[in-house]
Amino acid sequence: MKILLVEDDKLTREYLASGLRGLGHTCDAAKDGLEGLSLAMRDIYDAIILDRMLPGMEGLAVLKALRANSVSTPVLLLTAIGGVDDRVEGLEAGADDYLVKPFAFSELSARLSAILRRQSKPREQTRLAVGDLEIDLVRRVVTRAGQKLDLLQKEYALLEYFVRSEGRVLSKNMLLEQVWDFHFDPKTSVVETHISRLRAKVDKPFATPLIHTIKNVGYCLRVSD
Amino acid sequence: MFLTKLTQSSYFRFASAIAAVFLVAYFGASAVAFHAINQNLKTRVVQVAQLASATYEDQYQVGGLGELISTINSDIKTKHADDVVVWLGKADGSFLAGQQLKDPLFLRSGDYPGDVLADNIDDRFHVEVREFDHLRLVTGNSYEESNDIRDVVTSAYAGATIVAFALACLAIFTLARQGQLRIDRIRSVLKRVALGQLDKRIEISQTHDDLNILAVEINSALSQLQTTVDEIKQVSVNIAHDLRTPLNRLSLHVDRLKQLESQYPDLEQALRQINADIHLMASIFDAVLRIAQIEAGTLRANFKPVDVLELTTSLCDTFAPVAEEAEQLIEFQSGCHEPALMPGDKALLTQMFANLIENAIRHAGRGAVIKVQMTLERDKIVVCIADNGPGIPVEEKDNVLQRFYRLDKSRNSEGTGLGLAIVKAIVDLHRAELILEDNQPGLRVCVKLPGDTGHSR
Helices (H), B296-418: 308-325, 346-363
pLDDT at res. B295: 80
B289 vs A100: CB contact, 8 Å cut-off? no
Domain A2-118, architecture per CATH: 3-Layer(aba) Sandwich (3.40)
**Residue A225: its pLDDT value, please?**
61
CA distance A143 to chain B (A): 22
φ, ψ for residue A88, nearest 5 deg = -60, -40
In chain B, what are the helix, strand and coil shares in percent, each to the nearest 5? 60, 15, 25
pLDDT (0 to 100) of residue A67: 93
Closest C-alpha to A73, from A104, A42, A27, A102: A42
Environment class of B308 (CB within 10 Å of its CB; exposed 0-12, middle 13-18, buried 19+): buried
Pairs across A and B, CB distance < 8 A: 108
Q: CA A141, CA A124: separation in Å to the nearest integer?
A: 17
| pLDDT given at position B196 | 78
Residue B317 one-letter amino acid: D
Instruction: List CB contacts (< 8 A) between A181 and chain B.
Output: 346-347, 350
* DSSP letter string, B383-423: EEEEE-SS---GGGTTGGGSTT--SSTT--SSS-S-HHHHH
Which residues are within 8 A (CB) of A173 and not within 5 positions of it... i.e. 6 or more apart?
A: A107
Q: Report the CATH fold assignment for B2-147.
A: Beta-Lactamase (3.30.450)
Residue B108 neighbours by CB under 8 Å, 6+ apart: B127, B129
Nearest by CB to residue A183, choosing from B241, B347, B361, is: B347
What are the phi and psi torsion angles at B127 (to 5°)? -110, 135
The pTM for the full model equals: 0.67
> Hey, are the CB atoms on B245 and A88 less than 8 Å from each other?
no
Q: Where are the beta strands (DSSP E) in B68-109?
A: 84-90, 95-98
Residue numbers in B near A193 (CB within 8 A)? 321-322, 325
The helix/strand/coil state of A38 is helix
Closest residue of A to B362, CA-based?
A188
> What distance in Å separates residue A10's CA from the closest CA in chain B?
10
* Edge-to-edge order in the sheet of strand A47-51: A26-30, A2-6, A47-51, A75-79, A97-100
**Which range has the top average pLDDT, A26-40, A118-132, B139-153?**
A26-40
Residue type, B72: I
The residue among B447, B281, B437, B280 whose CA lies nearest residue B354 is B447
Mutate to test the interface with A, among B252, B351, B363 (most CBs of A within 10 A): B252
Q: Do B244 and A197 touch (CB under 8 A)?
A: no
Residue type, B162: I
* The residue type at A9: D
* Partner residues linked to A141 by β-bridges: A136
d(CA A95, CA A79): 12
Angstroms from A189 CA to nearest CA on chain B: 7
Containing H/E element for A219? strand A218-221
Report how far apart, in Å, the C-alpha atoms of B324 and of each of B145, B276, B319, B330, B353 are. Answer: 107, 26, 9, 8, 18
pLDDT in tens, chain B (457 residues): 566 776 777 778 888 888 888 888 888 988 898 899 888 888 988 898 889 889 888 888 888 888 888 888 888 888 776 788 888 888 888 888 888 888 888 888 888 888 888 877 778 888 899 888 888 888 888 888 888 888 888 898 889 888 988 888 888 888 888 888 888 888 999 988 887 788 889 888 887 788 888 889 999 999 998 888 888 777 777 777 778 888 888 888 888 887 777 788 788 888 888 888 888 888 888 788 788 878 877 788 888 899 999 999 999 999 999 999 999 999 999 988 888 999 999 989 999 999 999 999 998 889 999 999 999 988 899 999 999 988 887 777 777 776 666 665 555 555 667 788 889 999 999 999 999 888 888 899 999 999 875 443 3
How far apart, in whole angstroms, are the C-alpha atoms of residue B91 and residue B133? 9
- C-alpha pair distances (Å), B421 with each of A27, A143, B295, B390: 43, 45, 11, 21
Determine the pLDDT at residue B456: 39
Q: Determine how many CB atoms are found less than 10 A away from the CB of residue B139.
A: 28
Tell me the CATH number for domain A127-221.
1.10.10.10
Question: For B409-456, what is each residue's pLDDT tens digit?
Answer: 555 555 667 788 889 999 999 999 999 888 888 899 999 999 875 443
Which of A7, A49, A89, A185 best probes binding to B when mutated, by most B CB atoms within 10 angstroms? A185
Give the sign of the dihedral formed by CA A66, CA A67, CA A70, CA A75: positive
CA A138 – CA A127 distance, rounded (Å):
8
B23 phi, psi to nearest 5 deg: -65, -40
Max Cα–Cα distance, chain B, nearest Å: 162
Using a CB-CB distance cutoff of 8 angstroms, which residues of chain B are in contact with residue A190?
Answer: 318-319, 322
Q: From the list A9, A16, A84, which residue is nearest B348 (CB)?
A: A84
Q: What are the pLDDT digits (tens) for A75-121? A: 999 987 766 677 888 888 999 998 988 888 888 999 998 888 766 55
CA of A69 vs chain B CAs: smallest distance (Å): 28
**Protein fold of B303-450:** Heat Shock Protein 90 (3.30.565)
B248: nearest CA in chain A?
Answer: A102
ipTM of predicted assembly, 2 dp: 0.84
Cβ neighbour number for residue A1 with a 10 Å cutoff: 14
Record: contact B248-A190, CB cut-off 8 A: no
Residue in B243, B293, B351 closest to A184 by CB: B351
- In this prediction, residue A121 carries a pLDDT of 55
Whether A48 and A74 have beta carbons less than 8 Å apart is answered as yes
Q: Where are the domains of chain A?
A: 2-118, 127-221
Contacts of B240 in chain A (CB under 8 A): 80-81
Report pLDDT for B407.
Answer: 62
Q: Under a CB-based contact definition with an 8 Å cutoff, are residues A185 and A130 in contact?
A: no
Q: Which of A81, A180, A185 minimises the CB distance to B240?
A: A81
CA distance B105 to B94: 10
Residue B221: Cβ-neighbour burial (10 angstroms; 0-12, 13-18, 19+): exposed
Give the C-alpha separation, B382 to B232, whole Å.
34
Averaged pLDDT, A18-44: 92
Half-sphere exposure of B437 (CA within 13 A, CB side): 12
| pLDDT tens track for B52-83 | 889 888 888 888 888 888 888 888 888 776 78
* Contact state of B317 with A80 under an 8 Å Cβ cutoff: no
Spatial distance between the Cα atoms of B316 and B335, rounded to a whole number of angstroms = 15
How does residue A50 score in pLDDT terms, banded at 50, 70 and 90?
Answer: very high
For chain B, state the CA radius of gyration: 49
Q: CA A82 to CA B376: how far, in whole Å? A: 34
